[in-house]
Amino acid sequence: MKKLTFILFCGLLCTVNLNAQTWQIGYPNATDVTATLQDSTLTISGTGAMLDWNHFASPHTPWFFDDNIRTSIEAIIIENGVTTIGNFAFSFCTALTSVSIPNSVVTIGNRAFNTTALTSINIPNSVRTIGWQAFGFCTALTSIIIPNSVTTIGFGVFEGCTALTSIEVDANNPNFSSINGVLFNRDQSVLHIYPEGKQVEYYTIPSSVRTIYDYAFFDTSLTSVTISNSVTTIGYMAFGVNMNSETRHLRNVIIEDCTTPLHLSGAGWSPDTLYLGRNINSWAGAFGFAIKHLTIGNNVTAIGFNAFWNNRELTSVTIGSSVVIIGNMAFSGCNALRSIISLSPIPPAVVASTFNNVSRELCTVYVVSDEALALYQNAPIWQDFLNIRVLTPSNIDIVNATEIQIFPNPVVHELTITNYDWQSGDVVELYDMNGRLVFSQGVFNTPQHEFTIDMSPFNAGSYILRIGNQVTKVVKL
């Protein structure tokens, strides 16, 4: 009987061993770390680092090309002693929902958990480095906590995490911090990541921020953003969208007035409405090709080469009072442009290609005085526009047909906008007659379609109220 039991036990053991698959995945010695797949659980054991892999070239993980194996992995247990999770280690393990990481791990490699089904993950207080796109496209991941040990986070680490609403940071981390679920460096001078799943439509960059990191707002749900005047650098694709996105989210961008130039590096945005309150280092294509309404603030001195080239939906432009030159092809191809308000009393220098394909018959140029009118009517290129007029409170309504209903007007204290067909992310802007933006606010949750502005702080005089392409005049008593 004992012999029979022993034989049965051995048979069961052999069956279990036959069902398990094992790979040696250590580095530099392959035998130092072993991966064992038993049923749907992959166990990583041993001492030292895992290999780094690359799905775009050799070497590949041993389970990558076998869909039956890769898509069967539902849980991963990494045992104590393993020090790194290799690049691409568990990428595209699409059934993976659970992972256990020990305190011995110091590095989570590039794309280590990219495109998995993780809903949460506990990063131990031993990890110092999280590689680029380590958790990219984990579409079920809703929140994450960065422990105090982390010193380096790669770009795009949560790209494609469409359910991620919050990134929290241990209060004792000396390198990173979090405000309302948004990831910053410790002193909030660098904004690293705004979660893609955070359902907020309007966001103002905190005044502490100097740098917006590469991919920081990539494919978020924001419709409006205000760039505070503290920001000096906006990184590559900071406001970009995924090529497969069905809609372009960001509609309104306000870059606050500032005398310090803003350094852009292909931010990837393409807003409908843009207020630009400062010079930028590189103009060509800096704001995409979908702008409809553009205001250049009074701190801008030059509009560069190809700045707004081929923005075929651009209908109105306000040019600030300090602009002295508008570069080659700056508005070339903007064939829907119908209104240019130039607040500079002296015509900015332009060249023949500046307004290529802009209709000289249909586009009206508004200037600030009778003296300016004479100068524009005799200036090269400007004189080709058939309709050049003096901008006054009485003719501002001519610039755009208005659907805005306001009361009272004139106003002393509170101005109410009523019966307007609000769209998500609309921004209400108020300008003085020098073109200076004095009020701007995103509009959300407007009961009975009403919105109010406290006009008490403003000086008596005329103002221009704009919502998108709708413009009207307000008189403050």
Show which of 391, 418, 452 is a domain's final residue.
Answer: 391
Give the integer Cα–Cα distance in Å for 280 and 110. 33
**Residue 46 forms part of a structural domain:** yes
- Residues with Cβ within 8 Å of residue 429, at least 6 apart in sequence: 275, 295, 437, 439, 440, 465, 466, 467
Q: Is residue 1 part of a domain?
A: no
Between CA 305 and CA 101 the distance in angstroms is 52
- Tens digits of per-residue pLDDT, 87-141? 999 999 999 999 999 999 999 999 999 999 999 999 999 999 999 999 999 999 9
- Tell the burial category of 207 from Cβ atoms under 10 Å away from its Cβ (0-12, 13-18, 19+): exposed
| Interval 64-81: pLDDT, tens | 888 889 999 999 999 999
How much is the pLDDT for 448?
52
In angstroms, the CA 342 to CA 319 distance is 5
What type of residue is 176?
A: F
Same domain, 251 and 327: no
- pLDDT the model gives residue 287: 86
Residue 446, CA distances (Å) to 146, 352, 418, 423, 438 in order: 37, 46, 10, 10, 21
Kindly state whether residues 381 and 468 are assigned to the same domain. Answer: no
pLDDT on residue 465: 86
Same domain for 468 and 379? Answer: no
Q: Are 206 and 179 in contact (CB under 8 A)?
A: yes
What is the average pLDDT across 135-159?
95
State whether 384 and 403 are in the same domain: no
pLDDT at 16: 40
Q: Tell me the C-alpha distance between 439 and 174, whole Å.
A: 37
Distance of alpha carbon 11 from alpha carbon 196, whole angstroms? 52
Q: Can you give the pTM of this predicted structure?
A: 0.80
Distance CA 236, CA 12 (A): 57
Residue 6 lies in a domain: no
**CA 447 to each of CA 151, 411, 417, 450, 451: distance values in angstroms, whole numbers, following the listed order:** 46, 22, 12, 6, 8
Report residue 126 CA to chain centroid gap.
Answer: 31
Whether residues 361 and 455 share a domain: the answer is no
The CATH number that applies at residue 56 is 3.80.10.10
What does the mean pLDDT of the chain come to? 87
Q: Is position 173 within any domain? A: no
Instruction: Examine the domain organization and report whether 123 and 206 are in the same domain.
Output: no
Domain finish residue from 164, 198, 219: 164
Q: How many helices (H) and strands (E) does the chain have?
A: 3, 37
pLDDT over 80 (residue 375): yes
Q: What is the pLDDT of residues 219-250, one digit of tens each?
A: 898 888 889 999 999 999 999 887 666 555 68
Could you give the number of structural domains in the chain? 4
On whether residue 416 sits in a domain, the answer given is yes
* CA separation for the pair 281, 239 (Å, rounded): 17
CB contact at 8 A, 33 and 49: yes
Instruction: Check if the beta carbon of residue 388 is closer than 8 Å to that of residue 368.
Output: no
Q: Are residues 403 and 381 in the same domain?
A: no
381 & 447 share domain: no
Same domain, 420 and 375: no
Parent domain of 156: 18-164
Q: Which of 251, 271, 291 is the last residue of a domain?
A: 271
- 370 and 428 belong to one structural domain: no
Same domain, yes or no: 155 and 203:
no
Q: Are residues 39 and 159 in the same domain?
A: yes
Assigned domain for 11 exists: no
